[in-house]
Chains A and B, each alone.
Chain A
Amino acid sequence: MIATRSAIFDEALEIAGRRFKSRLIVGTGKYRSYEEMKAAHAASGAEIVTVAVRRVPLDRRVESFLDHLDPKLMILPNTAGCYTVEEAVRTARLAREALGTNWIKLEVIGDQTTLFPDNEQTIEAARILVKEDFVVLPYVTDDLIVAKKLLDVGCAAVMPLAAPIGSGLGVQNPTNLRILREQLPDAILIVDAGVGTASDAAIAMELGADAVLMNTAIAEAQHPEQMARAMRLAVEAGRLAYLAGRMPKRLYASASSPLAGVIR
C-alpha cells in the first residue's frame, strides 16, 4: 500500500480552533542572553513561547522583555510561581489585560522542592478561568482522573509532566502517558516539564503526546541553538513514529532476510 500524503507529513496541531505546524512549545527563561534565546527559538521552529508574569520593579528602569521575542511568535502567558487558586486566577486576568490574549498556561504549584502541581487547586482555578472565557492549558501530574476532571471543566488541553520541572530526567512514567493517550484519545496532551534531551522528547511523542513543552533542556544546554534544532527534529521524529505505528517488541530474533536460497 502506498502511504498517503497526510500520513507522511502529519496534520497540524489544533488547540482551541488555532492551528500550529510545530508541536514544540518553548519557554523563555534561563537563557544566558537575549541573542541566545532568539537563536534557540528560531532553531526550534516553535510557534508558541511561554512567558511569566511578575511585578514591575519600581526601583530601576526595565526594558520590556517582550521586545526581545520574534513578533511572529504567539505569546502564551503562564501562572508560573503561583501557589494558590487566587494568585493563579489574578495572574491570568492580568496577563489577559496586558497581552490581549485569553490563552493561559495554568500552573498552581503545590510544593517548592518538587514543583509538583497542586491538582486540586489547579482544577478549581481552571473552573473559574474557563467560566471567564480563558483557553486554559493546565500543568498537571500524569494522572488520568485529574486529567479527566480538567477536561470536564473545559480545559483546551492537559499538560502532564514527564518528570519534575527543570530536572531533565525525561519521561519517568511512560505507562501513565500511554494510559492518558489511550483513555483520552480526543484530548490534546502536551507533555510539559522534565525533558532533558532529544530522545526524551521523541519518547514523549512516540507515546502519543500531541506536543511537548520545554524550557530548561534547551536553555541550559551547552549550545541552546543546536539543542533547539535537535528538539525540533526529535518531536517530528517521535510524532511520525507514533503515527507510523511501531513494530511489536519480541523477546527473540526474527530474521529480516528470506531463509530460502541460503547457500549451504
Chain B
Amino acid sequence: MRVIVNGEEREIAEGLTLSRLLEELELAPERIAVELNRKVIRRADWPQTVLREGDRIEIVHFVGGGFGGKLSAHRLFDLDRSS
C-alpha cells in the first residue's frame, strides 16, 4: 500500500506500524517528532499506530537556524487540501 512520507510517495507493507516504518527508514527515535494526517503522534503511541493506505506522515527533526527561511527551499509541509 502507498503512504506519503515527507511529501514523497512510498510503498509499505500492509499493517506496518509507525515504529516499524521509522525502523525501516533507519531513523533514531530521539529528538524527532511525527505527524500522521496533521496530528502529532506521541512517541508512546508509535508502536500501536497502524498505518493505512493514503496516510500522510511528516517526520521532523531540528536544524541550525535563527529565523527566516525562503518559502521554496524550506517548506515544511505540503499544504495539500485534497487529503
Contacts and interface: CB of A to CB of B under 8 A. Distances in A.
A103 B67 CA distance: 15
Contacts of B35: 90, 93-94
A83 to B, nearest CB: 6
Nearest to B74: A81
A86 B81 CA distance: 12
| B interface SS class | loop
Given A53-B76, A86-B79, A80 B58 contact: no
A90 B67 contact: no
Interface in A143-193: 165-166, 192-193
A60 B74 CA distance: 17
B64 A97 contact: no
Interface in B21-44: 25-28, 30-35, 38, 40, 42-43
A107 B67 contact: yes
A16 interface: no
Contacts, number: 151
A73 to B, nearest CB: 13
Contact of B6 (A58, A64, A213): A58
A28 B79 contact: no
A65 B64 CA distance: 7
B79 A84 contact: yes
A165 B79 contact: no
Contact of B58 (A26, A94, A139): A94
Interface residues of B, number: 37
B61 A54 contact: yes
Nearest to B65: A52
Nearest to A139: B67
A115 B68 contact: yes
A214 interface: yes
A214 B60 contact: no
Nearest to A95: B33
A87 interface: yes
Contacts of A83: 71
A238 interface: no
A167 to B, nearest CB: 10
Given A97-B43, A98-B32, A27 B67 contact: yes
Contacts of B30: 64
B41 to A, nearest CB: 8
26 contacts: A27-B64, A27-B65, A28-B66, A52-B74, A53-B61, A53-B62, A55-B6, A56-B32, A56-B59, A56-B60, A56-B61, A58-B6, A61-B26, A64-B30, A78-B66, A78-B67, A81-B65, A81-B71, A81-B76, A90-B58, A90-B76, A97-B33, A97-B42, A98-B31, A98-B61, A215-B65
Given A64-B28, A81-B70, 13 more contacts: A29-B64, A50-B65, A58-B6, A64-B30, A66-B62, A77-B62, A80-B65, A81-B74, A97-B33, A97-B40, A107-B67, A109-B69, A215-B67
Interface of B: 5-8, 25-28, 30-35, 38, 40, 42-43, 58-71, 74-77, 79
